[in-house]
Amino acid sequence: MLAWTIYISMGAAALLLLLPRRSAQAARVVALAAAIGGFVVALLGFLAQRPGETVTVVRVPWVPTLGIEYHLAADGISASLVLLTGVVAITGVLFSWNIEERAKEFFAFFLLLIGSVYGVFLSWDLFLLFVFYEIVIIPKYFLITIWGSTRKEYGAMKLAIYSFVGSAMVLVGLIAAYVVAGEHSLSLDVLAGHYFPQHFQMWAFPLVFVGFAILAGLWPFHTWAPTGHVAAPTAASMLLAGVVMKLGAYGCLRVAMTLFPLGMAPWGFHFLGFGSWRDVFSILAVIGIVYGATVAMVQKDFKFVIGYSSVSHMGFITLGLMTLNLTGVTGAVMQMISHGLLAGLLFAVVGRMVYARTHTREFSKLGPMHLNKVIPFAAVTFIIAGMASMGLPGFSGFIAEMMILLGAWKAFPMLAALTGVGIVLGVVYVWRAMQKAFFAGDSQGATQPPGEYHEPIPPITLPEKLAAGILIASSICVGVYPQFLLRVIQPALNSPLFAALHNGGWQ
């Protein structure tokens, strides 16, 4: 059933290209119907997922001579991320409802990207996963270069170059694993059951991990992320932050850590204070958390604040993965979902609700506009999304970050303490951005009406309100009843697929 998430999305993308050039309204309807259809399938598949079970969706030979199969399957982790993708797809279409310029091409690229993301999360053959992973790069490049802004060609090219470099590293690692295993198969369950020599894992693990982590915004390979987010149109920013960056984190867990767990074992010596690759990536994760929050605090562009905040929050995911305990890794998966919802909402507020109406993202220009009075719905939405991303109890961010911090405290207490600094800085940059964007006019005692600063600002539309409500409600549902996701995520992490990881250092 879950395979239809891919087929519906890509089939609708092809259908859109057959529509008349000026059929913008028809393109929106087709895109929304496809997004809703994919979400319904994802939800039904998730609800049918049994804890600890891996369901084979389809498995047929593709390139038999190389042992490559068209193999789609799902466990609790895959099913949860597929569900996240369905939610982001619907809200992305709603926030793009007013797109007029080449609407059918926009939504065709949008759905092609969504279908490819579904494919990555469901692929159980690593060659198939790699194919879907590469397809993602194509539509996201064109979405930015055609419908983006603010040095859009530079942002798109930088994102593509970083993505292709990371993909090349992953491909080298997968080919090496295929040759060393001698199994004539790239099936995940087959390779996960093969014992790779430790000396091989010591170089294969960092190669594949970094290759995927580049797309996850790992410091210092993060620089594409703020640039790409700022250049992208709203829906593309939502997809980049909501699901595309999660592909990198998912690859780190599903491929690098599953196949090469001994790559995180101690080296037997220390170099510059590091004793293992686990130490290296843990430190880089904490640096990313603190660095992203610090840089976000001093930004003058509203969207750059959210871009660097994504770098900081993605650092939590890497840190959770490196704890190598059930609590921390579960928190990392929960953070993938939480950040996907909240970052998407924050980018929608900045890009669609504010920038599309005011034509500026500069705090110095937004402040005098009294946006809290002109578009109060945007102000309230940003406050809710900002507090949720800070980890306010009752929202998904609290559960995710709490589990990561608890897991980190068990694994490396000093790093957990430093991570707390990043959380405090997160409070600062969110409240600073909120004050400067929405309340600066009031705090400065300005008395001029908003119309004297800018042309009349259109009100928030019904599709935008509906999309914001969906994302907020989803975050609250996860925050209030996390067991909805935990019931399938934790058993998946304890499944035989991760047996090698357990033996390699699961604490």
Distances from the Cα of 259 to the Cαs of 242, 262, 466, 490, 507, in angstroms?
Answer: 26, 9, 42, 19, 18
| 71 torsion bin: left (phi>0), alpha (psi -120 to 50), beta (else) | beta
> What tokens appear for 475 in the block?
């975050």
Confidence (pLDDT) at 447 = 44
Confidence (pLDDT) at 199 = 86
Write out the residue range of the structural domain in which residue 106 sits.
Answer: 3-505
* Cβ 265 vs Cβ 504: under 8 Å: yes
Each of the 507 residues of the chain gets a pLDDT tens digit; together they read 888 999 999 999 899 888 877 777 888 889 999 999 999 999 999 998 888 888 888 889 888 888 888 999 988 899 999 999 999 999 988 988 887 778 888 888 889 999 999 999 999 999 999 999 989 888 888 888 887 777 777 877 888 888 888 889 999 999 998 888 887 788 888 888 788 888 888 888 999 999 999 988 888 888 877 787 777 777 777 777 778 888 889 999 999 888 888 888 766 666 656 678 888 899 999 999 998 889 988 888 888 888 888 888 888 999 999 888 888 899 999 999 998 899 888 888 888 888 877 888 788 887 777 778 888 888 899 889 888 888 888 888 888 889 999 988 888 888 888 888 888 888 888 888 888 888 775 555 444 444 444 567 778 889 888 999 999 999 999 999 999 999 999 888 887 666 656 554 444
Residue indicated by tokens 């843990």:
282
What sign for the dihedral angle of Cα 402, 394, 309, 205? positive
Confidence (pLDDT) at 501 = 60
Supply the DSSP symbol for 496. Answer: G
Count: domains in the chain:
1
* Amino acid, single-letter form, for residue 73: A
Confidence (pLDDT) at 272 = 57
> What tokens appear for 80 in the block?
């949860």
* Cβ 484 vs Cβ 51: under 8 Å: no
Indicate the pTM of the whole model: 0.89
* Measured distance CA(140)–CA(47) in Å, rounded: 30
Distances from the Cα of 107 to the Cαs of 80, 90, 291, in angstroms?
Answer: 24, 12, 35
User: What are the two backbone dihedrals, phi and then psi, of residue 271, each rounded to the nearest 5 degrees?
Assistant: -130, 115
Of 78, 122, 136, the closest CA to residue 336 belongs to: 78
Of 54, 68, 74, 90, the closest CA to residue 1 belongs to: 74
User: What are the two backbone dihedrals, phi and then psi, of residue 274, each rounded to the nearest 5 degrees?
Assistant: -95, 135
Beta strand segments in 396-473, E = none
Q: Please classify residue 497 by burial: count the beta carbons closer than 10 Å to its beta carbon, then call 0-12 exposed, 13-18 middle and 19+ buried.
A: buried
* Measured distance CA(386)–CA(392) in Å, rounded: 9
User: What are the two backbone dihedrals, phi and then psi, of residue 60, each rounded to the nearest 5 degrees?
Assistant: -135, 150
* Measured distance CA(441)–CA(450) in Å, rounded: 9
Is residue 69 classed as helix, strand or coil in its secondary structure? strand
DSSP 376-392: HHHHHHHHHHHHHHHT-
> What tokens appear for 73 in the block?
């399957």
Confidence (pLDDT) at 36 = 93
Confidence (pLDDT) at 44 = 93
Residue indicated by tokens 């090349």:
168
> What tokens appear for 121 in the block?
């999360």
Of 505, 488, 499, 502, the closest CA to residue 191 belongs to: 499
